[in-house]
């Protein structure tokens, strides 16, 4: 039986996942048709939505400068601490499959593992950079398309945030690492879908709730495991912004989704599920295995079979997304369709975690971050 939302036999069909072609590394420009209308509003009453106004005021006082607030003179010794930064291991994937004698990873020696660690770090930082550019474009679209002045005000601050994030990740890759990877095929497909949709709330749902929720979780994992001082501070600054971005999505959509019909909500439920699967597929990191000449299909299949209850990264990722979807009413509308889908991919257990609509203050600079795990 084919999953009609994903247009593949199942969410875990490895052939369908790997059939998505890798990005051409020589492509410098990628165009996506934006089908949305730019909306003016003549209602300039500031503070009509108090929660958004509070977020806007917080953002104005929380700006930082990637050139002057980060010490780029730090000599980054990337070989030091590579064991902690082995990205698939940190995400809970490779450590469950590397001892499988049927996989090529079983044969790697210590030097080859360290080389893989370095490639994995470059891959992960590259996807952060590409995702932040997606957020830059999507938030600029939100400024154009959202009908509320308080939301336009806040979204304008996020455009600046995202430009800063692209800047610092690109600079770290260029000056501290050895180049970058092209955008992951599944991340690219998701960003294309978000940008091309004409409905303003779908930009919020895809970017603010799903992609930014993933980013906040991913940055948290990496911040917790790295001892590299420049990277740790860079991530800390970025996380202070990202928590506000996710809150922006929750606060905006919570009001709007209360007015939608079941048919309209079902479209949002389907979109959220598709986005969740694409983001999971992204972390199969097939670009790494292709570049290193490994059997991508065998490794990806083994990674998909990992028990998600044992996978720290997936726990943290969906610990942001599932409760936010619950707060928006997406889990239980239409006879709990999305709840069942999240049950099928073994992530519904994170429903009870704290949603990100109210906890952005805990990520502010100067505050202790929530514990990881």
Q: Mind listing the pLDDT tens digit for each residue in 321-357? A: 898 999 999 999 999 999 999 988 778 888 887 766 6
Residue 104 covered by a domain: yes
Residue 1 covered by a domain: no
Residue 180 covered by a domain: yes
Other beta carbons within 10 angstroms of residue 252's beta carbon come to 29
pLDDT score of 272: 95
Residue 81 covered by a domain: yes
Whether the CA torsion 216, 146, 60, 137 is positive or negative: it is positive
Tens digits of per-residue pLDDT, 205-216? Answer: 999 999 998 888
Among 248-262, 306-320, 358-372, the range scoring the smallest mean pLDDT is 306-320
239 contacts: CB under 8 Å, gap ≥ 6:
216, 219, 220, 223, 363, 369
Residue 48 covered by a domain: no
Q: What mean pLDDT is reported for the chain?
A: 87
Q: What is the mean pLDDT of residues 192-200?
A: 95
Structure tokens, 158: 């996020």
Q: What is the mean pLDDT of residues 283-305?
A: 85
Among 2-6, 9-13, 269-273, the range scoring the smallest mean pLDDT is 2-6
pLDDT score of 25: 77
Q: Does residue 290 come out as left (phi exceeding 0), alpha (psi in the -120 to 50 range) or beta? A: alpha
pLDDT score of 4: 64
Other beta carbons within 10 angstroms of residue 149's beta carbon come to 19
- Asked whether the predicted pLDDT for residue 366 surpasses 90, the reply is no
CATH code (residue 145) = 1.20.1260.10
CA distance 91 to 313: 5
**DSSP for 98-161?**
TT-TTSGGGG--HHHHHHHHHHHHHHHHHHHHHHHHHHHHHHHHHHHH---HHHHHHHHHHHHH
CA distance 315 to 296: 24
Residue 372 covered by a domain: no
With tokens 């505050």, the residue in question is 367
Q: What is the mean pLDDT of residues 121-142?
A: 95
pLDDT score of 90: 47
Count up the domains in the chain and report the number. Answer: 1
- Asked whether the predicted pLDDT for residue 308 surpasses 60, the reply is no
- In Å, what is the CA distance from 344 to each residue of 92, 99, 255, 262, 312? 20, 27, 28, 22, 18
Residue 265 covered by a domain: yes
Q: Name the residue with higher pLDDT: 12 or 167.
A: 167
Residue 202 covered by a domain: yes
- pTM for the model stands at 0.91
Structure tokens, 167: 């800047």
What is the domain extent for residue 277? 59-66+77-363
With tokens 């709840």, the residue in question is 339
pLDDT score of 91: 46
Q: What is the mean pLDDT of residues 188-192?
A: 95
Confidence of residue 311 (pLDDT cuts 50, 70, 90): low
pLDDT score of 372: 65
Tens digits of per-residue pLDDT, 50-107? Answer: 999 999 999 999 999 999 999 999 998 877 756 555 544 444 455 556 667 777 777 8
pLDDT score of 1: 37
């Amino acid at each position: 039986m084919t999953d009609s939302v994903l247009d593949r036999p199942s969410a875990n069909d490895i052939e369908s996942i790997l059939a998505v072609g890798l990005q051409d590394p020589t492509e410098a420009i990628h165009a996506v048709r934006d089908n949305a209308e730019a909306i003016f509003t003549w209602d300039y009453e500031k503070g009509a939505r108090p929660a958004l106004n509070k977020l806007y005021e917080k953002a104005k006082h929380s700006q930082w400068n990637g050139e002057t607030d980060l010490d780029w003179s730090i000599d980054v010794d990337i070989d030091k601490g590579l064991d902690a930064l082995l990205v698939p291991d940190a995400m809970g994937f490779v450590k469950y499959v590397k001892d499988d004698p049927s996989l090529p990873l079983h044969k790697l020696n210590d030097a080859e593992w360290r080389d893989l660690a370095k490639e994995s770090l470059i891959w992960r930082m590259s996807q952060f950079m590409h995702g932040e550019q997606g957020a830059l474009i999507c938030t600029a679209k939100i400024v154009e398309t959202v009908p509320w002045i308080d939301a336009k005000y806040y979204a304008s601050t996020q455009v600046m945030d995202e430009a800063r994030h692209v800047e610092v990740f690109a600079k770290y890759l260029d000056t501290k690492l050895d180049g970058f990877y092209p955008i992951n095929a599944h991340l690219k497909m998701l960003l294309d879908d978000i940008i091309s949709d004409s409905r303003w709330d779908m930009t919020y749902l895809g970017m603010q709730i799903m992609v930014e929720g993933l980013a906040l979780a991913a940055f948290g994992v990496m911040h917790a495991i790295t001892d590299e001082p420049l990277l740790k501070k860079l991530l800390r600054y970025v996380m202070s912004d990202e928590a506000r971005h996710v809150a922006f999505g929750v606060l905006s959509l919570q009001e709007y989704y209360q007015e939608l019909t079941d048919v309209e909500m079902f479209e949002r439920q389907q979109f959220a599920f598709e986005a969740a699967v694409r983001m999971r597929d992204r972390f199969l990191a097939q670009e790494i295995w292709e570049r290193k000449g490994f059997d991508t299909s065998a490794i990806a299949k083994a990674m998909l079979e990992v028990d998600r209850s044992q996978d720290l990264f997936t726990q943290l990722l969906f610990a942001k997304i599932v409760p936010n979807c619950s707060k928006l009413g997406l889990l239980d509308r239409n006879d709990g369709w999305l709840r069942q889908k999240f049950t099928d991919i073994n992530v519904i257990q994170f429903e009870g975690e704290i949603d990100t609509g109210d906890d952005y203050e805990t990520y502010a600079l100067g505050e202790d971050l929530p514990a990881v795990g």
